[in-house]
Amino acid sequence: MSKQTLTITDNRTGNTIELPIEHDTIPAIGLRQLKVQADDFGMMAYDPGYTNTASCKSRITYVDGDKGILRYRGYPIEQLAEKSTFLEVAHLLLFGELPTASKLTDWNARIMAHTQIDKDLKGVLKTFRGDAHPMGILISAVAAMSTLYPEAKQVHDSEIRLQQVVRVLGQLPTAVAFAYQNLLGRPHTDPDGALGYSENFLHMMGLTGDGEVDPVLARAMDVLFILHADHEQNCSTSALRNIASSDADPYCALAGAVAALYGPLHGGANEAVLRMLAEIGDTKKIPAFLERVKNREVRLMGFGHRVYKNYDPRAQIVKKIAYEVFDVTGSNPLIDIAVALEQAALEDDYFVSRRLYPNVDFYSGIIYQAMGFPVEIFPVLFALGRAPGWLAQWMELMDDAEQRIARPRQIFLGEAERAYLPIGERG
Ligand code: CMC
């Protein structure tokens, strides 16, 4: 076997260093040996947006962006979406294994037994204005949970940790539904622990058609949650890991993750896609819209991905679910615009040469809208789905002896030392 090292020659000095290669990676700290003077700081790697920096070792989610592969704990997303349930996937992400039948029954029961929310949290959720964005409310709700469960600060106690995981998974859908009904001035519907996870959520949201949640819609919601459940070191997960690396409690770390997800380049994209499709309004206007994208006036929302340079496997599944949902709800006219827009983009050299394909957000909003969700709540649905992934990444971080507080370096390009000038002497 060839030698697993990388030799670097510093042409400023002629010095050579040899760094170990492990998992096709070199330890960045090794670069610090490269110095011109003995008392120099040494070299660093510059990587805005962390495009080529591994921040952790993880065993949870595998993405091969060139081949369009996504696996949770080794299981292909296509199989999980077809055969599994969201809470089963949450168990898989959190504990590394698919549960046995009896473990799954216990796990489902444990989560569903924690769906009630504290009256003080209800009080917080009632304080928002009628036009408050649901993501702002969700950030606040998760942060408020930190004040209600102060024992959560004991982040190195695995039993206490698990208790918070159960609370988050159980309570978040209730908090979202409570806030939503409150914004609409409608009475709150209590959670029903006898229902499935997604069925209960749709029930609390009032998306019950003639009285009961349609099983096709409950299953579609569950699959959409599965598709969003984890995606390795994305912006929100990295934000969560950064915050949690200071031993902040999981609610504070999750509030930061939800905040990162809110942005339109990340989880806010599903909302932005819907607004974009509504703005295009007619397939005839697609060529003019794509011209605006190519002129860099706007981005084609729901397209492109930092990691996928091939079709996002989640988008393929979402597109299929759309038609299953439409069989129940009736079609969403925006689907025709979306399909035509996708086709036009995939035939256009601008998108082909940059390897831009639809991502998970391109079709999900069309389904949410058909199911009766308002556009503003779409990123919240992403957050509900992502919760087990964030929690699994947090648990992994807490048990990772190699991790330290996140503290990147910078290249300082500001002023060198200057003497303070009294105000009367400034020009
Ligand atoms: N529309 C038009 N051009 C694009 C788009 C797009 N959606 N995405 C990337 N490009 C172009 C970009 O202008 C650049 O071109 P050039 O090299 O000529 O300057 C090239 O493609 C590379 O783009 P980038 O911005 O360097 O890529 P990135 O990896 O930094 O950004 C992204 C990834 C997802 C933020 C970006 O593709 C984007 O803004 N997409 C639209 C928002 C979106 O759909 N976000 C959801 C992502 S999937 C769900 C999630 O996990 O959040």
CATH of the domain at 232: 1.10.580.10
C-alpha of residue 305 to centroid of ligand 1, in Å: 6
Q: Give the burial class of 284: count Cβ atoms within 10 A of its Cβ; 0-12 exposed, 13-18 middle, 19 or more buried.
A: exposed
- Nearest protein Cα to ligand 1, atom 13: 296
C-alpha of residue 170 to centroid of ligand 1, in Å: 34
293 Cα nearest atom in ligand 1:
2
Mark out the alpha helices in 84-214 (DSSP H runs).
86-95, 101-112, 119-125, 134-148, 158-183, 197-204
Ligand 1 mutation pick, 305, 307, 360, 381, max ligand atoms within 8 A of CB: 305
Give the CA distances from residue 332 to residues 18, 207, 234, 337, 367, in Å, rounded to whole numbers and listed in that order.
Answer: 59, 16, 30, 10, 8
Does residue 11 form part of some domain? no
Active site residues per annotation: 266, 305, 361
pTM of the prediction?
A: 0.95
Does residue 28 form part of some domain? no
CB atoms closer than 10 angstroms to residue 113: 11
Angle, in degrees to the nearest 10, between helices 361-371 and 378-398: 120
CB atoms closer than 10 angstroms to residue 221: 29
Helix, strand, coil percentages for the chain (3-state, nearest 5): 55, 5, 40
One DSSP character per residue, 342-397 reads HHHHHTSHHHHHTT--B-THHHHHHHHHHHT--GGGHHHHHHHHHHHHHHHHHHHH
C-alpha of residue 356 to centroid of ligand 1, in Å: 8
Which residue's entry shows tokens 């919601």?
221
Ligand 1 mutation pick, 234, 316, 354, max ligand atoms within 8 A of CB: 354
Tell me the C-alpha distance between 146 and 219, whole Å. 31
- Strand-pair partners of 72: 61, 75
Does residue 426 form part of some domain? no
Phi, psi of 306 (to 5 degrees): -60, -35
CB atoms closer than 10 angstroms to residue 110: 14
- Nearest protein Cα to ligand 1, atom 20: 354
Q: Which two tokens stand for residue 36?
A: 């011109």
DSSP helix/strand/coil, 215: helix
Pairing of strands 61-64, 5-10: unpaired
Residue 169 and residue 380 in contact, taking contact as beta carbons nearer than 8 Å? no
Tell me the C-alpha distance between 279 and 272, whole Å. 10
Does residue 41 form part of some domain? no
Per residue in 23-73, pLDDT (tens digit) is: 999 999 999 999 999 999 999 999 999 999 999 999 999 999 999 999 999
- Nearest protein Cα to ligand 1, atom 12: 354
C-alpha of residue 156 to centroid of ligand 1, in Å: 38
Q: Give the burial class of 75: count Cβ atoms within 10 A of its Cβ; 0-12 exposed, 13-18 middle, 19 or more buried.
A: middle
Does residue 386 form part of some domain? yes
Structural domain of 197: 61-395
Tell me the C-alpha distance between 267 and 72, whole Å. 19
Sign of the C-alpha dihedral computed for residues 290, 272, 197 and 372 taken in this order: negative
- Write out the chain's pLDDT in tens, 427 residues: 799 999 999 999 999 999 999 999 999 999 999 999 999 999 999 999 999 999 999 999 999 999 999 999 999 999 999 999 999 999 999 999 999 999 999 999 999 999 999 999 999 999 999 899 999 999 999 999 999 999 999 999 999 999 999 999 999 999 999 999 999 999 999 999 999 999 999 999 999 877 899 999 999 999 999 999 999 999 999 999 999 999 999 999 999 999 999 999 999 999 999 999 999 999 999 999 999 999 999 999 999 999 999 889 999 999 999 999 999 999 989 999 999 999 999 999 999 999 999 999 999 999 999 999 999 999 999 999 999 999 999 999 999 999 999 999 999 999 999 999 999 999 8
Mark out the alpha helices in 184-302 (DSSP H runs).
197-204, 215-228, 235-244, 250-262, 269-280, 286-294
- Nearest protein Cα to ligand 1, atom 3: 299
CB atoms closer than 10 angstroms to residue 389: 26
Sign of the C-alpha dihedral computed for residues 210, 213, 219 and 223 taken in this order: positive
- Nearest protein Cα to ligand 1, atom 46: 266
Domain count, the chain: 1
Does residue 45 form part of some domain? no
- Strand-pair partners of 8: 17
Tell me the C-alpha distance between 107 and 165, whole Å. 12
Instruction: Identify the residues whose C-beta falls under 6 Å from ligand 1.
Output: 231, 234, 265-267, 269, 293, 299-306, 354, 356, 359-361
Does residue 287 form part of some domain? yes
Does residue 373 form part of some domain? yes
